[in-house]
Amino acid sequence: MSAEDPQTLPEDISPKEFSEVLSALRSIPRSDQRRWGEVYVRGLLAVRGKKTMRALANGAGSGAEQSLYQFISKSPWDADPVRGDLARLLVERAQPRAWVVQPLVITKVGRHSVGVERQWVPRIGRVVNCQQAMSVWLAGDRGSCPVDWQLALPECWTDREDMRRRASIPTEVGSCPPEQCAVDSVSRMAREWGLRGRPVVMDLRETAPQPVCAELVTRQIPFVVRVDPSSITPVPPGPKTTPGGPAGTDKDKGESWVGSAGLLSTLHRQRMPVEWFDHTTRTMRATSVGAARVALRRGPTAHGRPERLDLVLLAAWADPGRRSPSEFWLSNLAQSQLGTVYRTAQLSRRVERDLAEVSDGLGIRDFEGRSYRGWHHHMTMVSLAHAVTVLSPSHAHGTPAPAARTTPLPSRGTEVSAV
């Protein structure tokens, strides 16, 4: 980076990729706003350390700090079309294999930033003064990038008119649990952005998975979600339909509760080695993975009777010598290969790596404004800077794609139902 011009792009950033990614700003109607958007993204890429408005404006000319503040916090441009254009560009260039939902906790000292509240954060295991957000990343073996953001607003921000007015929270925005925010995001991406659906990867170990899985099934969204087996509610065996398959009758009356010897024996018996690339250690690994069909309680129907949710349960053994699996995943990808489903689930590690190595350095947690619109504008600019980084040739990691394995899911003859 040039000492004379802080707005000079770093040497490892491709000017060609910068221009191509910044074409996503064309949906912003005013040319002056598009210009300040380019200045903001350039600053995110060039400035070292904390991305304050003053640091981002340095070298951009007189009055740049105020203009950038106006562009981010006050200007009424819509972030959604910019995100949609970015997502379509990434689909074409990076060919992602999954949409990975990644939670983000942004700790704060004060109480004025939009959405900040002292709240219990399961991932941290304590009460934290913070913002909680959900992001959706387009992910493949060679890279990932966030394309959509949702800020999970506590009720103290949505139920009080003075708080809404202070942060300029739109009237249609209400309090939203993080998991529901994620479901709304992926549904909008498929419906409004016109993206071809990819499996949604999500961690539901801290919540009951049935409501989220049921909603994804209803919206016809493929998924593979990590679960805590103790949170799964079983239902008695009976008539059922398999995900994506014709109606049939479940004749297997054996036990299938996750904690039972029956289901664990089935999973253990069905397991096969699956090769996958571990993005956290940058090494190829092999894990024993088994699968069995399970029926879960979906919720009351119009007749007051519980409706079955028929899914596939995957169990993985990090230590083949242990009887108990180390991971459990639920999926509605009943016709997919076991190895493909598990490798898709492990793309969450790719996102965790890129969040730590790329987005954190681009100021993903640095926005200090107080407006709801400003937060979304800043996150959109960070997504653009992230895309420029991962698409630049110097950042294109030569991650080997694991060879496909022909490890099918259990046939109907090995189906089990939770009882």
Question: What is the chain's mean pLDDT, rounded?
Answer: 83
Check residue 6 and give its pLDDT.
59
pLDDT in tens, 342-387: 999 999 999 999 999 999 999 999 998 889 999 999 999 999 999 9
pLDDT in tens, 8-52: 889 889 999 999 999 999 999 999 999 999 999 999 999 999 999
Has residue 183 got a pLDDT over 70?
Answer: yes
Q: Please give the residue that has the higher pLDDT: either 415 or 162.
A: 162
Check residue 45 and give its pLDDT.
96
pLDDT in tens, 146-156: 999 999 898 88
Paired strand residues for 102: 135
Check residue 246 and give its pLDDT.
34
Give the C-alpha distances (Å, rounded to integers) separating 367 from 107, 178, 376, 389.
11, 20, 10, 20
> For residue 158, with 0-12 CB atoms within 10 Å meaning exposed, 13-18 middle and 19 or more buried, which class applies?
middle
Residues 292, 183 contacting (CB under 8 angstroms): no
pTM (two decimals): 0.86
